[in-house]
Amino acid sequence: MPPASPSRALVLGSTSVYRRELLSRLHLPFSVEPPHVDETPRAGETPAELARRLAAAKAAAVAAKHPDAVVIGSDQVADLEGEPLGKPGNHANAVAQLRRMSGKTVVFQTALTVMCQATGFTQHDLAPVRVRFRELADHEIEAYLRAEQPYDCAGSAKSEGLGIALLEAIDSDDPTALVGLPLIRTCRMLRAAGLQVF
């Protein structure tokens, strides 16, 4: 394990307001740097593989600019029966996603990479979250989307908000993974990288 370095900077490689809010819960000073990574899936790539590759690519892109910092990269891909579902981007796509997920279990593959170029530290992990959706009527889908407009969320629902009413069950060993950053794993990996969480 690298020696503890309280002065080493922490950088979140992300444009997600959700990840920024989650990381701020740890009361650690950090900055945010957009990673500028192409998120196009590769042919034959599973949702878990895609999430892992993008988390690592985001961390590496930001670490190249901040070699002395500890960098966090994360990505989430909704996995519906092996098919990756991205962010809907608009109302029509969100309606289509929620109709497809109605009554089904979706695995939200949330990948995490923490690295520091200066120390050679790199760790990767995956926090899958199994989410079972209720059978959703069209009027419920429409009312939910009009209320919360989750068009920037993989899977078209915010479990931390009204979207919880669309669900029957959530199965996870790292609850914040569903929102976008698995904080239990993040704390473990930051400690391994030499940062003091407390």
Cα-based distances in Å from 187 to 2, 116, 127, 198 = 15, 15, 13, 10
pLDDT at 77 over 60: yes
First to last CA, the chain: 17
Query: What are the beta bridge partners of residue 74?
Result: 112
| Residue 1, in any domain of the structure | no
pLDDT at 40 over 50: yes
| Residue 139, in any domain of the structure | yes
| Residue 4, in any domain of the structure | no
pLDDT at 7 over 80: no
Q: How far apart are CA 85 and CA 89, in angstroms?
A: 11
pTM of the model as a whole: 0.91
| Residue 3, in any domain of the structure | no
User: What is residue 5's predicted lDDT score, i.e. its pLDDT?
Assistant: 45
For residues 88 and 159, is the Cβ–Cβ distance under 8 A? no
Give the pair of three-digit tokens for residue 98: 């929620």
Which are the contacts of 70, defined by CB distance < 8 A and separation ≥ 6?
8, 9, 10, 11, 114, 115, 116, 121, 190, 193, 194, 195
For residues 36 and 61, is the Cβ–Cβ distance under 8 A? yes
Q: What CATH number corresponds to the domain at position 67?
A: 3.90.950.10
Has 68 been annotated as catalytic?
no
| Residue 162, in any domain of the structure | yes
**Average of per-residue pLDDT values in the chain:** 95
Which residue among the candidates 38, 68, 75, 174 is catalytic per the annotation? 75
Provide the domain limits for residue 161. 10-192
| Residue 65, in any domain of the structure | yes
Query: How many domains does the chain contain in total?
Result: 1
| Residue 197, in any domain of the structure | no
pLDDT at 4 over 80: no
| Residue 131, in any domain of the structure | yes
